[in-house]
A and B are shown apart, each in its own frame.
Chain A
Amino acid sequence: MPCVTVDQRPENDSTTIMSTSKCSHLPTEIQMSILEFLAEDARHAVSTLQYDEAWRCYAQFLLPAILVNRDWSARGTNLLWREPFTPALASVQPQRRQYYADKVQSIGLYLYRQDHVECPTAFAKLSFPQLRRLEINSCPPWMKLDLRPYLSSSITSFTMLGCPHLPNSLLDLIAFCCPKLRDVHLDYMAGHHKNEHLVKFLRKCRHLRDFALSSQDGSDFSLDVLETLASRKQLESLYAPVNLISYHSIETVMQRNSRLRPFRNARNLSLSIESRAVRPVLLAAEFLVELELNLADSEHDVFGTIGSFSCLETLEISFSTTERLSIQELQSISGLTRLKELVICGPPSDPYQANGPLLIAHAWTDDDFESWVSSYPNLEKLTFGVRPIASHWISETRLIGKSCPELTTLSMDGIHDIGAWRVSSQPVFPTLLELELGQLKPWPFSTRYVGRNYSWCAETYMRTVLSRPKNMQWGSLS
Chain B
Amino acid sequence: MSAAPSRSRVTGWHRRIARLVLGAAAVFWAVATFTFCVQTLLPGDRAELILNVKAGTFTQPTAAELAQINARYGFDAPLAVQYGRFLGGLVRGDLGTSYQTQGPVRAIIAEQAAPTLLTLSALALAWAIALLLTVPSAGRDGSLARLVSGFQVAAAVAPPYWIGTILLVVLGVKLRLLRVESGTGPAGLVMPAFALAIPLSGFIGQVIREEFARVLDQPFVTSARMRGMSDLAVRVRLVLRHAVLPGVTLSGWALGALFSGAAIIETVFARPGIGGLLVMATSARDVPLVTGIILAAAGLYILANLLVDLAYPIIDPRLRAR
Asked if A pairs with B, the answer is no
A residues neighboring B (CB under 8 Å):
none
B residues neighboring A (CB under 8 Å):
none
